Amino acid sequence: MSGPRISVVGTGLYVPDRLVTNEDLAKVLDTSDEWIRTRTGIKQRYFAEPGTGAAPLGAEAGRRALAAAKVAPEDIDLVLCATMTPDYIIPSCAALIQRDLKLENAGGFDLMAACSGWVFGTVTAAQFLAAGTARHVLLVGAEQMTSVIDPEDRGTRVIFGDGAAAAVIRASRDDEPGQLLHSKMRLAGNDELLYIPAGGSRQPSIDAASIERRDHYVKMKGREIFRFAVTRFGELIEDALQGAGVTVDDIKLVIPHQVNLRIIESAVDRVGLSMDRVLLNIDRYGNTSGASVGIALHEAADSGRIERGDLVLMVAFGAGLSWGSALLRW
Ligand SMILES: CC(C)(COP(=O)(O)OP(=O)(O)OC[C@H]1O[C@@H](n2cnc3c(N)ncnc32)[C@H](O)[C@@H]1OP(=O)(O)O)[C@@H](O)C(=O)NCCC(=O)NCCS
């Protein structure tokens, strides 16, 4: 099969200490554990202290991935950070992670694809490795979602969590099975269903009026996003199977963006996959956007649910609108 021969040689995960349960949120918002669990599958999530930033979370995940991979910081030549909550507009999170981890020989940049960030990042990393312009890529997904979520909006506050994941990826050696067998990245530009009105070049200054409108927070039309997600999710799985010429039975594990249990269940049902071959951890982390698939991948690898040679299908979608998949032979 064609496709860049790449191997993930180490992964890492980091979440902040503060665990927030549904009951904790029900004390400050008009919501309940029952509503959150039945509508989303989420039981708890982690919140970083205000002002932490995504880069320190990503750097810690990166440190753990380097240790797991037994790769020295100076051997990383590209750091990619998938994030929609960068510490600053400039410099990039990638630059801050480069500094914190002393990646002396690395270039790098942030990749803004919201919840599709980890999947788009994997596909991007593979291109640099295939072209030979990077030998070791550190892919990081890092989010402090609490910095952009309205604490008073029950529709979004209960869904998102903070956290980070990282992976060291390099070209596979001759005796290694690792390969990106199929990938897809798509956009359908939309700044109505899921967006943050202020803080960018359209509305750069956050003044009293924009704070009053709460324009510095995520605006989401939940029902429309739900419909978009279910359709795209199913299509992505079918597409990847067709593109790689494999059947659903060949896939060891599907690692979906941890968006909403009901969305995942309906998409998986559509392609005839059983839920025991889907990695779910949304109950423990909520939706961590660009970090979500990376956190799930780390847990799959760390727990031995995937082994070398297994086919692993990562699928994600989110703001943009964006959606994508990466089918890896692990
Ligand atoms: C957000 C989501 C869970 C809401 O579930 P839903 O079944 O669509 O619910 P609705 O938005 O239709 O709202 C139904 C009611 O629940 C209320 N509600 C919303 N959030 C609530 C909460 N946390 N607790 C209690 N009630 C809530 C709404 O206000 C509404 O009340 P109303 O009927 O009195 O107006 C669901 O739409 C969803 O998961 N969408 C996808 C969002 C997503 O994943 N975004 C990230 C994409 S990467």
**Is 298 designated active site?**
no
221 lines ligand 1 (CB under 6 A): no
Q: Structural domain boundaries of the chain?
A: 6-171, 179-329
**Is 190 designated active site?**
no
Three-class SS of 238-291: HHHHHHHCCCHHHEEEEEECCCCHHHHHHHHHHCCCCHHHECCCHHHHCECHHH
Q: Angle, nearest 10°, between helix axes 54-69 and 93-101?
A: 50
d(CA 260, CA 144): 19
**Is 115 designated active site?**
yes
Report which residue type is found at 280. L
Residue with tokens 């897809």: 184
* Residue with CA at minimum distance from ligand 1 atom 8: 223
C-alpha R_g of the chain: 19
Q: Which CATH number fits domain 179-329: 3.40.640.10, 3.30.1390.10, 3.40.50.300, 3.40.47.10?
A: 3.40.47.10
**Atom of ligand 1 minimally distant from the CA of 257:** 48
Report how far ligand 1's centroid is from the alpha carbon of 224 (Å).
11
Would you say domain 6-171 falls under CATH 3.40.47.10?
Answer: yes
The three-state secondary structure class of 214 is coil
Q: Which pTM does this prediction carry? A: 0.96
Taking alpha carbons only, the member of 280, 40, 60 closest to residue 162 is 60
262 lines ligand 1 (CB under 6 A): no
Query: CB under 8 Å to 131, separation ≥6 — which residues?
Result: none
Domain 6-171 and domain 179-329, same fold? Reply is yes
Return the bridge partners of 317, or none: 323
Distance of alpha carbon 197 from the chain centroid: 22
Report how far ligand 1's centroid is from the alpha carbon of 185 (Å).
27
From first to last of the 330 residues of the chain, give the pLDDT tens digit.
689 999 999 999 999 999 999 999 999 999 999 999 999 999 999 999 999 999 999 999 999 999 999 999 999 999 999 999 999 999 999 999 999 999 999 999 999 999 999 999 999 999 999 999 999 999 999 999 999 999 999 999 999 999 999 999 999 999 999 999 999 999 999 999 999 999 999 998 778 888 999 999 999 999 999 999 999 998 999 999 999 999 999 999 999 999 999 999 988 888 888 999 999 999 999 999 999 999 999 999 999 999 999 999 999 999 999 999 999 999
226 lines ligand 1 (CB under 6 A): yes
